[in-house]
Amino acid sequence: MTRIENVTVADGEFALHVWTPESGTGPGILLVQEIFGVGDYMEAVAGDLTRLGYVVAAPDMFWRIQPNWAVKHDERALPEGVAKVSAFDWEKGPADLEAALLHVRGLPEVEGRVGVLGFCFGGTLAFLLAARAEVDAMVSFYGAGVPGALGAIDGISAPAQFHFGGSDPYISREDVAAVERAVKGRDRTEIHVQEDGGHAFHNRKAPMFYQPEPAERAWRLTEEFLARYLPVS
C-alpha cells in the first residue's frame, strides 16, 4: 500500500512517499533518494523493506529545485541529476530531512523505532541526519560527501553502517580508507567495502551501475544490521 503525504516546513511543503507492509504496522525507515529522484529504484528498495515488515517513507529532497522530479537511471539523465545536486541547498536540505523524520515518527503505522537509509546523495544526507537528530539506526550507501564530513561523526550516537565500493570512480579508495579509520573502534558502527564494487552498485534500475554480486552481499549485511537494531516484532 502506498500514498503521498505532505511535510510542511517554514517556507513550503514537500511530498513524502509512504509504503506500508502487509502487516499494516512496523518500525519506520526514512529512505533517502539518490540523484535520480524518488522513482522506480526507490520504489524497488521500498518494496524490499516493506516485505521485511518496515513502514518506509521517502521524501522529495529536490522539491526546492524541481518538485516531484524523477528520471530514468541512464547516462543521459546523469548530468541532470548532478545538476540537481549542485543546486541543492545543504543548509535547508538536512533540515527538511529532519522534518521528514519527525513526520515519519508520527505516522499511525509506525510502531517503535525509526531508522534512516540513504543511497549516494542520500547516503551523505543519511549520515548528516544521524549526526544532527535522534535516529535509531543509520545505513549509508556510498555517500560521496561522507569522507569530507567526518568531523560530524562524533554526533552520531545511533548504530551506524557504511557501505562503499572499493572500485568507485567517484569516491577514491583513499577517501574510503579515511572513513574506515574514523569508524574503527566506534561502538555499534561498522563499514563494509565491496572491493569489486563501483559506484551505485546496488542500483538494479541502472544498468550502467548495477553489480549483482556486490549488491547482494551488501544488502544481506544491511538486512542483518536492521534486524539487530530495528527489529520487526
In the block, which residue shows the cell 566506534? Answer: 186
What does the pLDDT look like over 141-151, one tens digit per residue? Answer: 999 999 999 99
Record the cell numbers describing residue 56, joined without a space. 518506509
At 2-46, the pLDDT tens digits run 899 999 999 999 999 999 999 999 999 999 999 999 999 999 999
Identify the three-state secondary structure at position 153: helix
> Looking at the predicted structure, is the pLDDT value of residue 219 above 80?
yes
Please tell me the predicted confidence (pLDDT) of residue 233. 87
Distance between CA atoms of residues 141 and 202, nearest Å = 9
Q: How confident is the model at residue 76 (pLDDT cuts 50, 70, 90)?
A: confident
- Return mean pLDDT, the chain: 97
What topology does CATH give the domain 2-229?
Rossmann fold (3.40.50)
pLDDT of residue 75: 87
Strand order in the sheet with 55-59: 2-9, 12-19, 55-59, 26-32, 110-119, 138-141, 160-165, 189-194
Nearest-angstrom CA–CA distance, 96 and 168: 29
> Exposed, middle or buried, 165 (CB in 10 Å: 0-12/13-18/19+)?
buried
Catalytic: which of 120, 136, 163, 202? Answer: 120
Q: Which residues contact 89 (CB under 8 A, 6 or more apart)?
A: 64
Which one is catalytic: 73, 103, 163, 199? 199
How many of the other CB atoms lie within 10 Å of CB of 102?
Answer: 11
Q: Which residues contact 166 (CB under 8 A, 6 or more apart)?
A: 173, 176, 193, 194, 195, 196, 197
- CA–CA distance, 105 with 115 (Å, rounded to integer): 10
- Residue with C-alpha cell 567526518? 150
Question: Is the distance from CB of 54 to CB of 18 less than 8 angstroms?
Answer: no
The mean per-residue pLDDT over the stretch 128-137 comes to 98
**Which amino acid appears at position 49 of this protein?**
L
199 is catalytic: yes
- Region 181-208: what's the mean pLDDT? 97
Q: What is the pLDDT of residues 37-63, one digit of tens each?
A: 999 999 999 999 999 999 999 999 999
pLDDT tens, position by position, 81-114: 999 999 999 999 999 999 999 999 999 999 989 9
Query: pTM (2 decimals)?
Result: 0.97
Amino acid 110: pLDDT: 98
Residue 66 predicted with pLDDT over 70: yes
| Structure confidence at residue 1 (pLDDT) | 67
Of the candidates 60, 96, 136, 168, the residue annotated as catalytic is 168
The answer to whether 115 and 229 have CB atoms below 8 angstroms apart is: yes
